[in-house]
Amino acid sequence: MKSWNVLVAAMCWIGCDSTSHSDRIINPLLSTGADPWIIHYQDTFLYCYSRGDRIGLKLVKRLSELEKAEERIIWKAQPATDHSKEIWAPELHFLAGKWYVYFAADDGENAHHRMHILSSATKDIRSEFSYLGVLSDPSDQWAIDGTVLNFRDTLYFIWSGWEGAVNGQQNLYIARMDGPSKINSDRILISSPEYDWERRGSSTELPTINEGPEVLKKSNRVYIIYSASGSWSDDYCLGLLELTGEEPLNPNSWKKWEHPVFTGTDEVISPGHCSFLRIRDQDYIVYHHSKYRGAGWKREVSIQPFYWNDTGPDFGVPRPNGSTVDVRMR
């Protein structure tokens, strides 16, 4: 009997230990959210997001804790400035020994949207953040959804913008950076909405869309996963650009895949604007989607693993609400 009790105790310990090393998430990961930016730094998940006139940050050990985690406001906009309204899609990056947040904002008029920067005081994520200013190329045109590509020890900024001052089409642009807070080249056009699946949801009154560019790397291959079609529509989806040349500022170095790589289903509507996590050799995509058909910008955030084949990433199909994702922590 004593041996049996020892065996049962050992089996229970093994089972409990295994469970403690994994994290079970039930989608949606966040019941409300948009443009999710989550990174895994050391042993902590960092979630950076906007809420009204401020930018928040949550730090958790397990993604399942994110919804109810304590919020820290790292920056609040000063009223009546050119960056006090419509604060969108902040991204948190660790560059040159500090943390930088890139976000879009305006003064209440959409045509005035530009990219702006925050910087931490030190390398400690818990240090204070301060506003650095506008990040713009010489054209100084409308800009949102900026992200950073580090390619061969050179930084590049990639964003969604207008060609001129008219809101008719959102393109993807790239420019070289001189450190984390300055652009030192002209912008180069690398993608415009050209396929039917990139132009759905638009009309003569509404623009066509390429936005939300996010960098994804695998070995020596570089991809940009971006959002296409009307973000307000039921047709939002993800497309892919691949860097096939040696020079990111050469538009011919980028090849667009002819078909979307992640589209909605009858249960998951308009998946778009994503970020990526790699946890114990497994890749995950985190993305927002509409809460229901016709919901427009009422969104929630989900997560699921993805895999690779000979041609690139394979995201599969969006998993419905109520689906579980087991993340092995160690």
Residue whose tokens read 């959409």: 110
Partnered with residue 47 across adjacent β-strands are 38, 58
For the record, the structure tokens of 1 come out as 């009997």
- Residues written for the chain: 330
- Residue range of the domain that includes 295: 2-328
Residue 219: the pLDDT is: 94
Residue 21: the pLDDT is: 84
Question: Where residue 18 sits, what CATH number does that domain have?
Answer: 2.115.10.20
CA 47 – CA 74 distance, rounded (Å): 12
Residue 11: the pLDDT is: 42
- 217: helix, coil or strand? strand
Among 203, 201, 204, 205, CA closest to 230: 201
For the record, the structure tokens of 252 come out as 């011919």
Number of domains composing the chain = 1
**For 199-209, b where at least 16 C-beta lie within 10 A, e where not — what string?**
bbbbeeeebbb
CA 68 – CA 154 distance, rounded (Å): 38
pLDDT block averages, 10 residues each, the chain of length 330: 43 44 96 98 97 98 98 98 98 98 98 98 98 98 98 98 97 98 98 98 94 97 98 98 98 98 98 97 97 98 97 98 94
For the record, the structure tokens of 27 come out as 């989608």
CB distance 289 to 299 below 8 Å: yes
CB distance 104 to 113 below 8 Å: yes
Residue 88: the pLDDT is: 98
| Omega prior to 138 cis, within 30 of 0 | no
The alpha carbons of the chain give a radius of gyration, in whole angstroms, of 21
Q: Cβ-count burial of 122 within 10 angstroms (0-12 exposed, 13-18 middle, 19+ buried)?
A: exposed
Residue 20: the pLDDT is: 61
Residue 5: the pLDDT is: 44
Residue 329: the pLDDT is: 86
Residue 276: the pLDDT is: 98
CA 324 – CA 306 distance, rounded (Å): 14
Taking the CA of residue 129 as centre, how many other CA atoms within 13 Å lie in the half-sphere pointing to its CB? 25
